[in-house]
Amino acid sequence: MPIKLPETLPAYTVLDGEGVMVMGDLRAARQDIRPLRIGLLNLMPKKIQTETQFARLIGATPLQIELSLIRMSDHQARNTAAAHMEEFYRPFSEVEAAGERFDGFIITGAPIEHLEFEDVTYWEELTRVMDWTQTHVHSTFGVCWGGMAMAWHFHGVPKHILPKKAFGCFRHHSLAPASPFLRGFSDDCTMPVSRWTEMRQEDIDRAPGLTTLMTADETGPCLVHDPGHRALYIINHLEYDSHTLKEEYDRDIAAGTPIDVPANYYPGNDPTKTPINRWRSHAHLLYGNWINEIYQTTPFDLAEIGR
């Protein structure tokens, strides 16, 4: 089954060209099934790139997915055209006022790691979003800073500033191979990492109800399950495209920002060579497993979600 997207959304053309099954409203209306409603609260500056990355992963399952793009109500995007935001995104305040419910909800990362959570301009509204997920969302996926924010809000798990950026592709191993979210995973896998902060295992261990599913020797815990809040937190970037780390590296070099060559990313650690994607299959597995768990457990009647 395909993912339902507006035919004018840039991701529609990109994914259709890649062979991902996509469809518009008219075709979706002809199918007599209830699609899974997935909301994407996109906090990343490059909205189009991020929405395409997540649509690619959640659209690769055998289920029909209806993706809703959501933004913070009063925060203005500076790196995405206003026309794009106006056409495809709705403010959270509108979604909240309408009493909408979702089978799944993704809260992305944001390049604001250096700030204390409470110093983020939209923190108050984001806490409202996170609390709202407990009554209006069946399963929530917090990604990178979004996952750290949820762990802090619900459990008081702090983020710690790193002495230098964790940047590159690192081997991660499973701590819970029987978890349904890791179904089909190898014993270890490569995953892109790009962050200035970390969550520490000792802090996670002190938070009742949290279980670390995946970790890395070099960069620490990565995937955390929070069943009490029907949530997963991943602080690394399986959704990244092959060239996303390269774009970040090239940006910092052009700006004169001190940055190491992303580890284990370029062949021979040579930035003149084309990066090799070693994580794509596990990205599809993780998000496919998440969608499958939602499908298996979500109520058929959306009005029953969160009750």
Question: How many Cα atoms sit within 13 Å of 261 on the Cβ side?
Answer: 11
- Set 144, 169, 189, 222: catalytic member: 144
User: Residues 158, 203: contact at Cβ < 8 Å?
Assistant: yes
> Residue 144 catalytic?
yes
d(CA 72, CA 124): 11
Tokens of 243: 């060239």
By CB atoms closer than 10 A (0-12, 13-18, 19+), residue 190 is: buried
Cβ neighbours of residue 169 closer than 8 Å, sequence gap 6 or more: 190, 191, 192, 193, 245, 262, 263, 264, 265, 278, 279
Question: How many Cα atoms sit within 13 Å of 138 on the Cβ side?
Answer: 22
> Residue 100 catalytic?
no
d(CA 284, CA 147): 19
d(CA 176, CA 244): 29
- Set 239, 248, 282, 293: catalytic member: 239
- Set 138, 172, 237, 282: catalytic member: 237
> Residue 237 catalytic?
yes
d(CA 218, CA 284): 24
Q: Catalytic amino acids? A: 144, 237, 239
